[in-house]
Amino acid sequence: MKQFYILAVLILLTACHKKIYTHDISFKGDTVIYQGRPYTGDIWTDDNTSGFFKTENGQLQELTFFHRNGKMAIHMKVSPQGAPHTEIFDDHGDSLDLVSFQQHYMDIYLKMAMVQGELMQK
């Protein structure tokens, strides 16, 4: 009986952690919709590694993109009172300015633009 209980708990935990991807969502105005409702949670890029967006009640709260080595490249937190707070890092985890990031990590910059374009078409 104990083994059945452990198996049931593992199945339940696995089912609760289904990843949502950009192809799974749609928009109604500026609201992210998943399965007909405003979505709260993480939305991963379709490649499952480049980045993800955090939403709350359908509204974008944060976005994060990663370097190929898995380290954070860009983290942006949306602020309702003005400009978002953005942190940019090189592939070693050191802070970087936007111009240097664009010059050295054009692949990530282009990936962000492509994902944004895909989302705007929804």
Domain locations in the chain? Answer: 20-121
- Is residue 71 pLDDT above 70, yes or no? yes
Has residue 7 got a pLDDT over 50? no
Residue position matching structure tokens 């993480």: 42
Residue 9 has pLDDT above 90, yes or no: no
Reported as a single tens digit per residue, the pLDDT across 21-40 is 999 999 998 899 999 999 99
Tell how strand 51-56 and strand 41-44 pair up.
antiparallel
At 38, the amino acid letter reads P
Average confidence score pLDDT of the chain: 86
Asked if 40 and 57 touch (Cβ cutoff 8 Å), the reply is yes
Say whether pTM exceeds 0.75: yes
Nearest alpha-carbon partner for 105 in 77, 62, 78, 74: 74
